[in-house]
Structure 1
Amino acid sequence: MNFVSIRVITGDVARLVAFYERVTGLKAAWANDDFAELGTPNATLAIASTRTVPLFAPGSARPAENHSVITEFLVDDVDAVHQNLTEYVTESVTDLVAEPTTMPWGNRSLLLRDPDGNLINFFTPVTRQAKEKYAAMG
């Protein structure tokens, strides 16, 4: 098995895609107005309209109701990401949840919310063990 993507359902695909393009520096590949993907070497973040839900499972997903999933991005320097995003996050509808903090498991993490309220963690491994764990993904 290979984990390949996570899909976020939203009421405003263009807004959410623009946000993720800005905060990740990635360019989305659009399939149509209802579906876009931001790909990385290890996984893809798919963003889909509420209009896509009835196609695979009517009523199964609702936008802006996530309170348990954190989408995570491995970055070279989380403090630089924080500095670059501070003005943007403050001006946007997002919420800066936690400034860069070193976690007990060895990652330095920045936690914020996207425009739909979904949690995002940008992190950089800082301990030897964490760096070794993520060395192949860097």
Structure 2
Amino acid sequence: MEARVNLITIWTDDISPMKEFYNKVLGFKIENDLGEYIEFENEGARFALCTREVMYEYSEEYKKKSMGQSFELAFKCKDLDDIDRSYQYIISNGGNAVQEPRNMPWDQRTALFSDPDGNIHEIFVDIK
């Protein structure tokens, strides 16, 4: 095995609002839509959404409800104006507000939002 992430899949029980959010709000273009599996165009690691139900026949583990924040996606912004604009756009188009943009002690301005399933993600810009 190579220690390198090749694919990131977000598992969901309701793919329609997730597809809409990642495509229309965050701007990921759909590369492949098989209904219960959607892969987006992404530089680097492949990025997808998939219903848990697809995997039920392979493992009972996919039937377990997940609890807590298991992962975070972080999206880099161009500049300070971009992070504020992006945050407002995401929140006014279906993202859930978690933390408004603010300067952090590690020399970044960050903001947090969640997707329709409640997964918390970050947008950031370096301020130094």
TM-score w.r.t. length of structure 2: 0.78
Q: Which secondary structure state, in structure 1, belongs to the residue aligned with residue 38 of structure 2?
A: strand
1:115 deviates by 0.6
CA contact (8 A) 2:87 2:111 kept: no
- Give the alignment partner of residue 12 of structure 1, picking from 4, 11, 14: 14
Q: Which secondary structure state, in structure 1, belongs to the residue aligned with residue 24 of structure 2?
A: helix
Report the counterpart of residue 121 of structure 2 in structure 1.
Answer: 120
Of 1-10 and 51-60, more deviation after overlay is shown by 51-60
How many positions carry a matched residue from both structures?
A: 126
What 5-or-longer segments of structure 2 have no aligned partner? Answer: none
- Give the alignment partner of residue 68 of structure 1, picking from 67, 70, 84: 70
> What RMSD in Å do the two structures reach over aligned CA positions?
2.5
Query: Structure 1 residues 118 and 31, CA, compared in 2 at 3 Å: closer, same or farther?
Result: same
Q: Which secondary structure state, in structure 2, belongs to the residue aligned with residue 59 of structure 1?
A: helix
- Give the alignment partner of residue 44 of structure 2, picking from 18, 42, 51: 42
What 5-or-longer segments of structure 1 have no aligned partner? Answer: 128-138
- Give the alignment partner of residue 25 of structure 1, picking from 20, 24, 27: 27
TM-score w.r.t. length of structure 1: 0.73
Equivalent positions of 1:76-91 (< 5 A) are 76-77=78-79, 79-86=81-88, 88-90=90-92
Structure 2 CA distance for aligned equivalents of residues 113 and 64 of structure 1: 16
CA contact (8 A) 1:11 1:63 kept: no
CA contact (8 A) 1:34 1:49 kept: yes
Query: Structure 1 residues 64 and 19, CA, compared in 2 at 3 Å: closer, same or farther?
Result: farther
